[in-house]
Structure 1
């Protein structure tokens, strides 16, 4: 079976009439977004574009990792294959991911994350669905809610980079697995310690792995065995991050939950995503099938371009979302210390 990276259809990329969506002034965009969100409970769908201001490279769009025809991610079936070939794929993946987790761990929410979190905390918007595995929506919302409350308000459609799962279902914190990788590979642990000491930051892909020099050999990299499997009397080193790889399907439970969020909202606000993956695109389609208003905030072509019923604003999320939150929350944001703190928080730095 041939697998490919989901992307924007060539028919959209080549259609100038669909690409040339007029840009809007920030003041007009703020007014239109605020009016849309004030008109009823909105579900929110986000993608990699909302994390760009945190220094996370986007998947698609201008300079996106997956717009590069030479970029070759590892697919799910390759990663879990129980064979010497599969073991080689896991060595390659986990060495790159071991190094790549350093900048991921340092990444912080930006003003868009905090603006959406403030709007959720204030009840202006409802549940949020994110395709991102970086945990930044969770980190922003934790300023106001407990971990359990955050989990109830934010659905990670494609999982989390902060957990690791073995093929038999044992789950471990990513930080713990990083320690295991370091102990099993002292040479690379020393390399990572030097990166931390110097503050150097390798180029990181959105899912947390890095590009290493072609001369690097993966042959001696050790992927630890699963302790849970060891305790059950079997040896198993088939481990993967607890997020959806290319070629892997989201669970029925997550799919049903994402549909229910759209169904229980009055409208859908989509931002920072091309909805190139079908798991996200079908949520937009579902909202339209239910005749719910859809407002789309993104820069560049998307899979939804030209679809009737989708209002699109061509402007970066970081230019408007803080002002949207200020407009909607008004004096409440000034009088509520939690909201005021959230709307003053967030980093902005270039992606690497």
Structure 2
């Protein structure tokens, strides 16, 4: 089975540079685009960078390295010894990398978008991110039905886990199972919590580990399967891996969300994954106006009908929201609170990007 991995160099080789824009002009353009409401919004990893979660793509993103090779879906679920070894490596690295994603807080972009959602300007968000931060930003004012209808996690979530027979459990419970089965790694994880000296973590919760043997790592068996007399370590998070298809239900819902909007806003995504790029193409085919707010080149650059604003969302999004909502930004207590909320905690620079070429990593969350 051969599955190709799209890289920024491959996808963007012909991209032309976007003209520079001042923050004031960017605010005016994005606010004007949003005025009138009913805007479907697609978000990518760039939205979560200010929450301390690294983007895969971008200036120092993983996929800038053409030698990057992720773990594929068929490898992770392989029933042979080889597949079990893939699961040992995946779950050890993800066990150590999940806490920073679990504990991350919504940033100013998440909170401003939540304010726009609450005000029904952008009633639908389709996110490529698996960190759950859009939910965190608005969950204190929205109920479960509103969250389910307003936010579509296109590539799944890190916060739940299921086995091959469909037994589903929260990620925190599964983390506890790993801790109980691997006391030595649990002690190491506690030391990381204490010192804060964590390995470099990716947006899917994976970390880079050098010189580590995975052979002794215990992948917990599914207890529900054990009750039926089955031994099953074939367990994965609710992520869409390379080579794994997005469910037909999720694909249908994403198309319906595009069709329901009067226009499409894209924030913090290079659109290098086809699952998101085809939604932009669908919007263009429907002759819906499209605005792309993102730093650097993207797969959509040069597409007819796509306006590009090359600036970080965190630099302008609060001002955009205030311009769109007017007096409601002050008079509505929930909107005012959301516009005061949000952290800015960018990942620290490091020198490990070059090391990634020798590390087979985890899921891309970017299937077709």
> Which residue does the alignment assign to 2:253?
257
Alignment partner of 1:6 is 2:6: yes
Alpha-carbon distance in 2 for matches of 1:240, 1:127: 28
Quote the offset at 1:200 in angstroms.
2.2
1:1-352 alignment, distance < 5 Å: 1-8=1-8, 10=10, 13-15=12-14, 18-213=15-210, 215-352=211-348
Alpha-carbon distance in 2 for matches of 1:72, 1:6: 10
Residues 19 and 300 in structure 1, CA contact (< 8 A), matched pair in contact too: no
Residues 16 and 302 in structure 2, CA contact (< 8 A), matched pair in contact too: no
Higher alpha-carbon deviation: 261-270 or 323-332: 323-332
Q: In the TM superposition, what whole-angstrom CA distance separates every residue of 1:83-112 from its partner, at most 9, and x where no partner exists?
A: 000000000000000100121122111000
Alpha-carbon distance in 1 for matches of 2:258, 2:189: 42
Alpha-carbon distance in 1 for matches of 2:7, 2:114: 29
Alpha-carbon distance in 1 for matches of 2:146, 2:284: 29
SS at match of 1:125: coil
Alpha-carbon distance in 2 for matches of 1:155, 1:13: 27
Alpha-carbon distance in 2 for matches of 1:231, 1:267: 50
> Which residue does the alignment assign to 2:357?
none
RMSD of aligned residue pairs (Cα, Å): 1.2
Count residues in correspondence.
Answer: 348
SS at match of 2:123: strand
Residues 36 and 295 in structure 1, CA contact (< 8 A), matched pair in contact too: yes
Quote the offset at 1:9 in angstroms.
6.3
Residues 7 and 277 in structure 1, CA contact (< 8 A), matched pair in contact too: no
Residues 107 and 341 in structure 2, CA contact (< 8 A), matched pair in contact too: yes
Quote the offset at 1:301 in angstroms.
1.1
> Which residue does the alignment assign to 2:362?
none
Alpha-carbon distance in 2 for matches of 1:14, 1:8: 8
Q: In the TM superposition, what whole-angstrom CA distance separates every residue of 1:245-303 from its partner, at most 9, and x where no partner exists?
A: 11111000000000000001100001100111111001000000001000011111111
Alpha-carbon distance in 2 for matches of 1:144, 1:156: 19
Residues 7 and 65 in structure 2, CA contact (< 8 A), matched pair in contact too: no
Normalised TM-score (structure 2): 0.92
Alpha-carbon distance in 2 for matches of 1:36, 1:45: 15
Q: In the TM superposition, what whole-angstrom CA distance separates every residue of 1:180-231 from its partner, at most 9, and x where no partner exists?
A: 0000000000000111112222210110010011x21000000011112122
Alpha-carbon distance in 2 for matches of 1:328, 1:75: 43
Alpha-carbon distance in 1 for matches of 2:9, 2:251: 23
Q: In the TM superposition, what whole-angstrom CA distance separates every residue of 1:53-96 from its partner, at most 9, and x where no partner exists?
A: 11111111211012123433211111000000000000000000
SS at match of 2:202: coil
Higher alpha-carbon deviation: 1-10 or 76-85: 1-10
SS at match of 2:218: coil
Any gaps of 5 or more consecutive residues in structure 1? none
Higher alpha-carbon deviation: 321-330 or 253-262: 321-330
Quote the offset at 1:333 in angstroms.
1.7
Residues 9 and 66 in structure 2, CA contact (< 8 A), matched pair in contact too: no
